[in-house]
Amino acid sequence: MSQKPTSKNMLPKTETADLPETIDLQDFLKLEGLVDTGGEAKFRVQSGEVKLNGLTETRRRKKLHRGDVVEIHGASHTVDW
């Protein structure tokens, strides 16, 4: 018979998940709550409503890095995590 894990025989977790170095523009918009859906993110980006570091960005899969500044709805949001 196999033994069920209990607090006495479970090994502690020692590994931590590494944070990604980049995030897609559309994912950033969703995670920050700047759009409600992926479809809205796609529409907003492809229609030119989003700026990245002061320039209009129409690539929704554009990779963002820490320190990048995303502008949408007249407000700026810095990528930091």
Give the residue extent of every domain in the chain.
Answer: 23-78
Q: pTM, whole model, 2 decimals?
A: 0.74
Digit-coded pLDDT (tens) for 4-47: 555 455 545 444 456 678 999 999 999 999 999 999 999 999 99
Report angle CA 56, 57, 63 to the nearest 5 degrees.
Answer: 145
The residue-averaged pLDDT of 47-67 equals 98
Amino acid at 38: G
| Rounded Cα distance, 72 and 32, in Å | 11
Phi, psi at residue 68, to the nearest 5°? -65, 150
**Which CATH class name applies to 23-78?**
alpha beta
